[in-house]
Chain A
Amino acid sequence: MRTVFQKFLFALTVTAVMNALDMTYHLATGWAVHLNYVAIKLTVIFLAVWMITQFIGLGKQEGIITSIFAPFMFYVYYVFAGATLNREIFKIDEQFWFYFLHAGLLLIAYFSAWNFLHSKQQWKKTTGFIITAGFTSIAFHALLLMTRWRIAGMDEETAATLFTFSVILLPIIAYFIGIIAGTITQTVFRKRILSVGISAIIPATILFISTREIGTSVFTLLFVLLSYYIIHTFKKGLEVIHHE
Chain B
Amino acid sequence: MNKKGWIILGIITGIIGSFYEFVPRKTIRSISNFLLFDADILGHRIRHNDLILIGTILLIISFVSFYKVYTLYQTKILPKNHNP
Q: Is B8 an interface residue (CB 8 A)?
A: no
In the complex, per-residue mask of B45-78: 1 if CB is within 8 Å of any chain A CB, else 0: 0001100110111011101100110010000000
- Distance of A57 Cα from B48 Cα, bound (Å): 33
Chain B residues in 8 Å Cβ range of A80: 21-22, 52, 55
Chain B residues in 8 Å Cβ range of A69: 63
Contact present for A47 and B60 (CB under 8 Å):
yes
Contact present for A55 and B49 (CB under 8 Å):
no
In the complex, residue of chain A having the shortest beta-carbon distance to the beta carbon of B59:
A73
Contact present for A81 and B67 (CB under 8 Å):
no
Interface on chain A toward B: helix, strand, loop, or mixed SS? helix
Interface on chain B toward A: helix, strand, loop, or mixed SS? helix
Contact present for B60 and A55 (CB under 8 Å):
no
Number of interface residues of B (CB under 8 A): 17
Taking each of A47, A57, A69, A81, which has the highest tally of chain B beta carbons within 10 Å of its own beta carbon?
A81
Number of interface residues of A (CB under 8 A): 19
- Distance of A170 Cα from B61 Cα, bound (Å): 39
Return the contact of A82 from the options B49, B57, B67 (Cβ within 8 A): B49
In the complex, residue of chain B having the shortest beta-carbon distance to the beta carbon of A61:
B71
Contact present for B22 and A44 (CB under 8 Å):
no
Contact present for A73 and B60 (CB under 8 Å):
yes
- Distance of A44 Cα from B53 Cα, bound (Å): 8
Given contacts A56-B68, A80-B21, are A51 and B61 in contact (CB under 8 A)?
A: yes
- Distance of A43 Cα from B55 Cα, bound (Å): 13
